[in-house]
Amino acid sequence: MKNKLDDYRVRSGANVKLKDWPTEVDRWFKSKDEYEQIMDDDLSKLRSLQTLLYAHDRYSVLLIFQAMDAAGKDGAIKHVMSGVNPQGVQVYSFKHPSPEELDHDFLWRTTRCLPERGRIGIFNRSYYEEVLIVKVHPEILAAQRVPERSIERKDFWKGRYESIVDLEKHLYRSGTQVLKFFLHISKEEQRKRFLDRIEDPDKNWKFSRFDVQERERWDDYMKAYEECINATSTDHAPWYIVPADDKRNARVIISKAVTDCLASLPLSYPVLDEERQKELKALRKLLRE
């Protein structure tokens, strides 16, 4: 039986054209009550799987969220991971790099934040910014002090894609499962959400002139995302193109993908050896006296 998530997963070697991928699909639920029930059920599964992941202590999971502004990354992370034990989750948001970070290769600052074994790591934006915003704004490369011999190569961006794929292969071999979500919002829906941020005083802080300026480069960003997704979606580190015009539906899809990923890992609670079992029996006897 086909998994509904297959409709959103990009297979290795695919030729993605984002105009052919929907930004809104039929809802996975029929009412608000059913939506809340689905999210509660998935969160319960996620809690159990997270505990198992932590106890097994051999694997980790890295969730990467990328999107255009106002696509709902923050809300998706908040709702999908709400109620999960914070000791087992590490969330990082990557904004403008610091001088120290600029003195290293483009993967350095994110590599330092990779999840430990037994934990779930979340990147709100990531090293993929280096083949997205930097590609749309190549002037940013000047601040990165990349050697001219590298920038002048015709295969410069191909080299960055290869570095990313190689990193994710290494992570997979080391026990880290990487899932990547592109929240696919339409330009019209983004316009509505921008207007909402302007009209709602409590959301004014979320909006700036820079958001409008970047919106003018929409086509450039769509091309950059297409090239990035096509070059870096692999069987061991897939991209999911999540229809994001409906925030609740997007959260359900992401929640299902995360729980399915964790459920697919060969996790188990540690089996105690005979010596340890004897020790526990002795301690139990001591406590009952």
Residue 9, beta-bridge partner list = 240
Q: Give the mean model confidence (pLDDT) for residues 165-186.
A: 98
- Residue 2, pLDDT > 80, answer no
Q: Can you say how many angstroms the Cα of residue 177 is from the centroid of all Cα atoms in its chain?
A: 11
Q: What is the mean pLDDT of residues 66-77?
A: 95
Mean pLDDT of the chain: 93
Q: Is the pLDDT of residue 221 over 90?
A: yes
Between 195 and 280, the more confident residue is 195
Residues 197-218: tens digit of each pLDDT: 999 888 888 888 888 899 999 9
Q: Is pLDDT of 149 > 90?
A: no
What pLDDT is recorded for position 243? 98
Q: Which domains does the chain have, with CATH numbers?
A: 4-288 (3.40.50.300)
For residue 65, list its beta bridge partners. 124, 181
Q: Give the percent of the chain with pLDDT over 70.
A: 99
pLDDT digits (tens, 9 = 90+) for 73-88: 999 999 888 878 888 8
With bands split at pLDDT 50, 70 and 90, how would you rate the model's confidence at 89?
A: very high
Q: What is the reported pLDDT for 1?
A: 45
CA distance 253 to 243: 9
Who's near 267: CB < 8 A, 6+ residues apart? 49, 52, 53, 56, 58, 59
Average confidence (pLDDT) over 217-222: 97
pLDDT for 66 equals: 98
Could you read off the pLDDT of 55-66 as tens digits, one per residue? 999 999 999 999
pLDDT at 285 over 90: no
Q: DSSP strand E in 132-192: where?
A: 176-184
Tokens 């809340």, located at residue: 36
Report pLDDT for 147: 86
| Neighbouring-strand partners of residue 62 | 121, 178
Using one digit for the tens of pLDDT, what is the confidence trace for 92-137? 999 888 889 888 999 999 999 999 999 999 999 999 999 999 999 9
Output the CA–CA distances (angstroms, integers) from residue 132 to 125, 221, 226, in the order listed. Answer: 10, 7, 10
pLDDT of 273 reads 81
For residue 272, what pLDDT is reported? 78
pLDDT of residue 286 exceeding 90, the answer is no
